[in-house]
Amino acid sequence: EISPSGRAGCQVAACKKEGKKIAKGELRLGSWVEFNERGSWQWRHWGCVSGEQVVNMQKNIGKDSNGEYRWDAIDGWEDLDGHPDIKEKIKRVITQGHIDSEDFNGVSI
Protein backbone atom coordinates (compact mmCIF):
# COMPACT_ATOMS: atom_id res chain seq x y z
CA GLU A 1 0.00 0.00 0.00
CA ILE A 2 0.91 3.63 -0.16
CA SER A 3 1.68 4.85 3.34
CA PRO A 4 -1.11 7.12 4.59
CA SER A 5 1.15 8.74 7.19
CA GLY A 6 4.78 8.83 8.22
CA ARG A 7 4.30 7.07 11.54
CA ALA A 8 5.11 3.43 10.72
CA GLY A 9 8.66 2.29 11.15
CA CYS A 10 10.33 -0.16 8.79
CA GLN A 11 10.76 -3.52 10.53
CA VAL A 12 13.95 -4.53 8.70
CA ALA A 13 16.69 -4.71 11.35
CA ALA A 14 18.97 -2.05 9.81
CA CYS A 15 16.13 0.45 9.37
CA LYS A 16 14.63 -0.36 12.75
CA LYS A 17 18.00 0.18 14.45
CA GLU A 18 18.24 3.63 12.84
CA GLY A 19 14.58 4.41 13.63
CA LYS A 20 13.72 4.93 9.96
CA LYS A 21 10.08 5.67 9.28
CA ILE A 22 8.15 5.00 6.07
CA ALA A 23 7.28 8.41 4.65
CA LYS A 24 3.73 9.42 3.82
CA GLY A 25 3.03 8.56 0.19
CA GLU A 26 5.80 5.95 0.02
CA LEU A 27 5.09 2.43 -1.22
CA ARG A 28 5.38 -0.12 1.56
CA LEU A 29 4.75 -3.82 2.10
CA GLY A 30 2.79 -5.08 5.08
CA SER A 31 2.88 -8.52 6.63
CA TRP A 32 0.18 -9.65 9.03
CA VAL A 33 1.82 -11.10 12.12
CA GLU A 34 -0.06 -12.92 14.86
CA PHE A 35 1.21 -13.27 18.41
CA ASN A 36 -0.50 -14.02 21.72
CA GLU A 37 -3.88 -14.45 19.98
CA ARG A 38 -3.59 -10.94 18.52
CA GLY A 39 -2.43 -9.65 15.20
CA SER A 40 -0.75 -6.59 13.80
CA TRP A 41 0.69 -5.27 10.54
CA GLN A 42 4.46 -5.05 10.29
CA TRP A 43 5.65 -2.72 7.56
CA ARG A 44 8.80 -2.35 5.53
CA HIS A 45 9.95 0.06 2.87
CA TRP A 46 9.34 -1.26 -0.64
CA GLY A 47 13.12 -1.10 -1.12
CA CYS A 48 13.62 -3.38 1.90
CA VAL A 49 11.48 -6.23 0.53
CA SER A 50 13.62 -9.35 0.22
CA GLY A 51 13.81 -11.66 -2.77
CA GLU A 52 12.37 -14.40 -0.58
CA GLN A 53 9.31 -12.24 0.10
CA VAL A 54 8.84 -11.59 -3.61
CA VAL A 55 9.01 -15.33 -4.30
CA ASN A 56 6.44 -15.89 -1.54
CA MET A 57 4.17 -13.32 -3.18
CA GLN A 58 4.55 -15.16 -6.50
CA LYS A 59 3.48 -18.40 -4.84
CA ASN A 60 0.66 -16.87 -2.79
CA ILE A 61 -1.09 -14.99 -5.59
CA GLY A 62 -0.66 -17.87 -8.02
CA LYS A 63 -1.43 -17.88 -11.71
CA ASP A 64 -4.65 -18.20 -13.67
CA SER A 65 -5.37 -20.73 -16.43
CA ASN A 66 -3.54 -18.47 -18.92
CA GLY A 67 -0.37 -18.49 -16.83
CA GLU A 68 -0.82 -14.88 -15.71
CA TYR A 69 -0.37 -13.87 -12.10
CA ARG A 70 -3.66 -13.23 -10.30
CA TRP A 71 -2.97 -9.60 -9.41
CA ASP A 72 -6.35 -9.18 -7.74
CA ALA A 73 -5.25 -11.78 -5.16
CA ILE A 74 -2.90 -9.15 -3.67
CA ASP A 75 -4.50 -7.66 -0.58
CA GLY A 76 -5.11 -3.96 -1.24
CA TRP A 77 -4.65 -4.22 -5.03
CA GLU A 78 -7.93 -2.42 -5.69
CA ASP A 79 -6.79 0.45 -3.45
CA LEU A 80 -4.07 1.19 -6.01
CA ASP A 81 -6.50 1.76 -8.90
CA GLY A 82 -5.58 5.46 -9.04
CA HIS A 83 -1.87 4.62 -9.23
CA PRO A 84 -1.20 2.72 -12.47
CA ASP A 85 2.55 3.43 -12.19
CA ILE A 86 2.68 1.73 -8.78
CA LYS A 87 0.68 -1.24 -10.07
CA GLU A 88 3.12 -1.62 -12.98
CA LYS A 89 6.06 -1.49 -10.57
CA ILE A 90 4.54 -4.22 -8.41
CA LYS A 91 3.77 -6.36 -11.46
CA ARG A 92 7.32 -5.96 -12.76
CA VAL A 93 8.87 -6.84 -9.40
CA ILE A 94 6.73 -9.93 -8.87
CA THR A 95 7.30 -11.10 -12.42
CA GLN A 96 11.08 -10.63 -12.27
CA GLY A 97 11.38 -11.98 -8.71
CA HIS A 98 13.23 -9.08 -7.07
CA ILE A 99 12.99 -5.38 -6.25
CA ASP A 100 14.15 -3.01 -9.01
CA SER A 101 17.76 -1.96 -8.45
CA GLU A 102 16.81 1.74 -8.34
CA ASP A 103 14.39 1.04 -5.46
CA PHE A 104 16.58 -1.41 -3.51
CA ASN A 105 17.73 0.03 -0.18
CA GLY A 106 20.79 -2.17 -0.06
CA VAL A 107 19.64 -3.86 3.12
CA SER A 108 20.23 -7.58 3.39
CA ILE A 109 18.47 -9.75 5.90
Cβ(4)–Cβ(24) under 8 Å?
Answer: yes
Per-residue pLDDT of the chain (109 residues; tens, 9 = 90+): 999 999 999 999 999 999 999 999 999 999 999 988 899 999 999 999 999 999 999 999 999 999 999 999 999 999 999 999 999 999 999 999 999 999 998 755 4
- Nearest Cα to 107, choosing from 17, 31, 34? 17
> Full-prediction pTM beyond 0.85?
yes
DSSP structural state of residue 47: G
